[in-house]
């Protein structure tokens, strides 16, 4: 499973390598995909690759892109052996800016793990991790890796308004 040390951004985004990886990636493979966005910060999704209804490659609903154009927020792809099984529901208390690892499970995406910085969304009344709510039955476990202010990861702003670019919050 990904850890806080895995969240560091590469010195440069290797688009050529991403295109090569995406050209051979197939639905059903398990990967760790690292993303970075202004809204959610840097996070890693470990899960099974799926095809969307538009035949785009995704992992846990996050678009990866294609061999012609990796999605702009995608930083890296690493093959992994398997995604850990979903444990029973245990959730650590999480504050905005904490680095956490959360396990999710749903019928559409299977079991997947996200590691990254928790972002408060007061406008929604929840805390999110890589666009997924850290609440409800889908969120099976939340593990605190670092309290706010005790790590060097960038912390995104709280989500105070829903805008057109927030359609990915699930």
pLDDT of residue 168: 55
Exposure b/e, 13-41, CB count within 10 A at least 16 = b: eeeeebeebbeebeeeebbbbbbbbebbb
pLDDT at residue 127, rounded to an integer:
94
Report pLDDT for 1: 85
So what's the pLDDT on residue 90?
A: 66
* Chunked mean pLDDT (size 10), the chain, 170 residues: 89 93 96 96 97 92 92 96 73 87 93 97 91 91 94 94 62
Its pTM stands at 0.92
Instruction: Check residue 35 and give its pLDDT.
Output: 97
């Amino acid at each position: 499973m990904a850890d806080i040390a895995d969240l560091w951004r590469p010195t440069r985004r290797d688009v050529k390598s991403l295109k090569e990886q995406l050209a051979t990636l197939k639905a059903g493979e398990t990967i760790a995909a690292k993303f970075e966005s202004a809204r959610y910060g840097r996070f890693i999704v470990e899960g099974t690759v799926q095809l969307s209804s538009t035949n785009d490659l995704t992992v846990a609903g996050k678009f990866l892109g294609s061999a012609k154009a990796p999605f702009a927020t995608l930083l890296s792809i690493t093959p992994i052996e398997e995604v850990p099984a979903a444990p029973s529901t245990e959730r650590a208390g999480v504050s905005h800016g904490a680095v956490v690892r959360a396990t999710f499970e749903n019928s559409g995406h299977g079991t997947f793990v996200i590691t990254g910085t928790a972002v408060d969304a007061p406008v929604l009344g929840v805390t999110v991790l890589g666009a997924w709510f850290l609440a409800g039955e889908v969120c099976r476990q939340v593990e605190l890796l670092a309290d706010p202010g005790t790590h060097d990861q960038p912390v995104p702003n709280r989500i105070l308004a829903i805008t057109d670019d927030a359609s990915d919050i699930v």
